[in-house]
Amino acid sequence: MGDAVSATTNIPRLSQDEIESPPLSLGQLTWRRFRRHKMAIFGAVVLILLVLYSFIGSFFLSEKYANYTDTNLRLQAPSSTHPFGTDSVGRDVLARTIYGGQISLLIGLTAVTIETIAGVLVGAAAGYYGGWIDAVLMRITEAVLNIPELFLLIVMAKEFAGKIPTITLLGREFSGSVIVIVVIIGLTSWMYLARIVRAEFLSLKENDFILAARATGTSNNGIIFRHILPNSMAPIIVTATLGVANAILAEAYISFLGLGVQPPTATWGNMLDGANSYLESAPWLWFFPGMLILLTVLSINFLGDGLRDALDPHSRAV
Amino acid sequence: MIRYIIRRILQAIPLLFIISIVLFALMQNMGDPIAAMAGRNITRSSDRERLKRQLGLDQPIYVQYIYWLVGNDWTKTDIDGDGIRETQGTRKGILRGDFGTSLVNRGKPVLKVIGERLPNTLILMIVAETFIILGSLIIGVYSALRQYSVLDNLMTGLSFVCYSMPIFFIALISMYIFGVLFKRWGLPYLPTVGMFDPNIGKTPGQIALHLVLPVLSMSLISFAAYSRYIRSTMLEVMNQDYIRTAKAKGLPRREIVFIHALKNASLPIVTVVGLDLPLLLGGALVTERIFAWPGMGRLFLDYVSRSDVPVVMGILMMIAAAVIVFQIITDIVYAWLDPRIRYGT
């Protein structure tokens, strides 16, 4: 022990803190790397602010107020009573961006949940079992990939439009179109994830620990979900994070085209529907929701970028 | 190489079949084509029945698919609904180049409907893609050569913002600035909608003027991704040994950058462009809608809303085929440009 101390006197000294700190867990390592990624921190902070904006905001302005139409107050420019102005039927744009934000963010998260479940199941089955299962699943994946997502979304939106009734959840009414949009965005975006998961499974299943698991009689499901899947979480988390941004964008595009979530339920996307006609007369109609979409997508992209670097097991930076 | 190309084409065929089956199944619930076709003119249910039979919609879905695929001129169809198949079918099927006829424009061939709009989309697409490639090459090479300079950092920041920008937002902003504000300030302003001013007519000058804003919005978004890509490949190439050799033997910097480095750095761009081109065909959907550009995207939206299945199906199949064809072309061009890549047989 004495030798070791004398030997370290000549080399650059580590600080006391670094010598004594216990080995870092994977989570701590990831957090350390993530913390150094300034843009990712910026993205995370902005995202938290946006979430607070749309959820805390609802304590101050009721949803009834957001959907309250007053045709005497059509297209009012931003003022002290209506900071973001009013829309073409006299609803307050500020209140609608708050409630629209809730729906847009919820759509992003739930659509990604569906996307992730579908992508992981397809990718895992294809990668693990191989053979004809792989061939069939990957041909289908490829086929869906070859149809541009927006076209597929429009066709499916048209197909399911108006088939799901309005539902009441937690004392609030949701237009059935919200469910439709969530499901179809989830069903049209799982393909990339499926490919990534498949690639992970293909390489991981050749490892010795899988052989060991199989030798001890672990079932296929056990191997897939308890042994391989946890090891391929990093790319799944990154893809899912970026997927939230894509889902919010997809909702915005399709609602912008008037095929998405139907009023009176507000989303950032459908607030922009028809903004074309008010390009000149009421720029506040499209500026605020557009800006919020941009901020959300931007901060999620930063966050995903930071996570990608932080979760990379090959990254040596601590 | 030839064998590789043939194999790729052979693989593409089942893929197109799967796509067509998926789409055909999706089309079944797209809405009531009869209502779309006739509007309020048909009230009698017997007329509806007759129309349905004439369009072959009374058949089970797999029969409809077969008729769509290979036509029905080899069999007889029952049009008057008396249970006897007596009329010779006339459809040739998509495999023989017959995409069917539009329901909305009574009997107008789908190919003609699409053909009228395709050139407009191609104009928009080709001009935009040219600007995107040239612009991002300039930005990418500049940022790579002056890494971490003020302009490089600015471009990096901007490209992140543009990359996250929904196309309609950038389109609305550019329309507002160049169309509305410029007009208000008494500056020369740009037209915001349409392809040409109906009072002046469809002259090349008018089209160019109306192209400015859509191309600007589309380019700003794509610049971001492309120039980042070029920057990183360029940085990689500039650190290669052969570039050092070229520097060491005293070649002028201009020659090193534009002949030795750029040639190799632009290789991966081929892939990106090749995969993006067919998507532009459809990606212009929102752009065309905002700028009221009479192209394929708007055609698609119009016909989806009227449940004109043959036209919608035709557009989707053409785009899917374009995606596949461009993928194959990209791989071939890539192999041709990069002698390190040799596709096995």
Q: What is the pLDDT of residue B170?
A: 87
Classify A92 as helix, strand or coil.
strand
pLDDT band for position A121 (cuts 50, 70, 90): very high
Task: Return the higher-pLDDT residue of B282 and A107.
Answer: A107
Residue among A46, A104, A146, A292 with most chain B CBs within 10 A, to mutate: A146
**Average pLDDT in chain A:** 81
**Preferred mutation among A46, A138, A155 to probe B, highest tally of B CBs within 10 A:** A155
pLDDT value at position A123?
93
* Residues of A with Cβ-Cβ distance to B29 under 8 angstroms: 159
Helix axis angle, A149-160 to B296-305, nearest 10°: 10
d(CA A146, CA B322): 9
Question: Most A CBs within 10 Å: which of B153, B156, B172, B221, as the mutation test of the A interface?
Answer: B172
The three-class DSSP label of residue B122 is helix
**Assembly ipTM:** 0.81
Contacts of B283 in chain A (CB under 8 A): 148, 150
Kindly tell me if the per-residue pLDDT of A230 is higher than 60. Answer: yes
Q: B172 vs A156: CB contact, 8 Å cut-off?
A: no
Chain B residue with minimum CA distance to A250: B166
Q: Spell out the residues 6+ positions from residue B202 whose beta carbon is closer than 8 angstroms to its own.
A: B195, B196
Picking from B194, B272, B283, the residue whose alpha carbon sits closest to that of residue B233 is: B272
Pinpoint the alpha helices (H) of chain A. 2-8, 16-20, 26-36, 38-60, 63-66, 93-129, 131-145, 149-160, 176-187, 191-204, 208-215, 220-222, 233-256, 283-311
Mean pLDDT by 10 residues, chain B (345 residues): 83 86 81 64 67 72 79 68 66 75 76 85 87 88 84 83 85 86 79 74 78 87 83 86 89 86 80 76 77 85 82 86 86 78 61
Please compute the mean of the pLDDT values over residues A81-104 and round it to a whole number: 79
Phi then psi dihedrals of residue B50, to 5 deg:
-65, -45
Cis peptide before B252 (omega within 30 of 0): no
Token pair of B36 as six digits:
């779309």
Are the CB atoms for A201 and A193 separated by under 8 Å? no
Instruction: Assign A61 to helix, strand or coil.
Output: coil
Q: Does B185 touch chain A (CB under 8 A)?
A: no
Contact B319 A272 (CB under 8 A): no
Question: For chain B, how long is the longest CA-to-CA vector?
Answer: 89
Q: Which residues of B touch A47 (CB under 8 A)?
A: none
* Any A CB within 8 A of B161 CB: yes
Handedness of CA A62, A66, A68, A73 (dihedral sign): positive
Chains A, B: CB pairs < 8 Å: 120
Look at A148 and B312 and tell me if their CB atoms are within 8 Å: no
Residues with Cβ within 8 Å of A200's Cβ and at least 6 positions away in sequence, in order, are A123, A127, A228, A231, A232, A235
Closest residue in chain A to residue B170, using alpha carbons only: A290
Report the Cα B121 to chain-centroid distance in Å.
8
Which residue is listed with tokens 């052989």?
A211
Q: Where are the alpha helices (DSSP H) in chain B?
A: 2-27, 33-38, 45-55, 61-70, 110-145, 150-164, 167-174, 182-184, 204-238, 241-248, 253-255, 262-265, 267-290, 296-305, 309-337
Q: Quote the minimal CA–CA distance from A284 to chain B in Å.
A: 11
Contact B168 A139 (CB under 8 A): no
**What is the predicted pLDDT for the residue at A124?**
92
Q: Which of A25-34, A164-173, B155-164 has the largest mean confidence?
A: B155-164
H or E segment at A315?
none
Amino acid at B279: L
Q: Closest by alpha carbon to B120, among B282, B278, B293?
A: B293
pTM: 0.84
The burial of B320, by beta-carbon neighbours within 10 Å (0-12 exposed, 13-18 middle, 19 or more buried), is given as buried
With beta carbons under 8 A apart, name residues in chain B contacting A267.
none
- pLDDT in the model for residue A216: 92
Give A260's contacts in chain B (Cβ within 8 Å).
none
B275 touches chain A (CB under 8 A): no
Question: CA–CA separation, A220 vs A208, rounded Å?
Answer: 15
| pLDDT given at position B42 | 57
Q: Which residue has the higher pLDDT, B264 or A49?
A: A49
Q: What is the DSSP string of B272-284?
A: HHHHHHHHHHHHH
Per-residue pLDDT, A112? 93
Q: Which helix (H) or strand (E) holds B87?
A: strand B87-88
pLDDT attached to residue A244: 92
At residue A118 the predicted structure's pLDDT band, cuts being 50, 70 and 90, is very high
With CB atoms and an 8 Å threshold, state whether A155 touches B305. no
Nearest neighbour of A139 by CB, restricted to B15, B23, B161: B15
pLDDT interval class at A1 (50, 70, 90): very low
Q: At what angle do helices A149-160 and B309-337 cross, to 10 degrees?
A: 160
Q: Count of alpha carbons within 13 Å of B102, Cβ hemisphere only?
A: 20
pLDDT at A29: 76
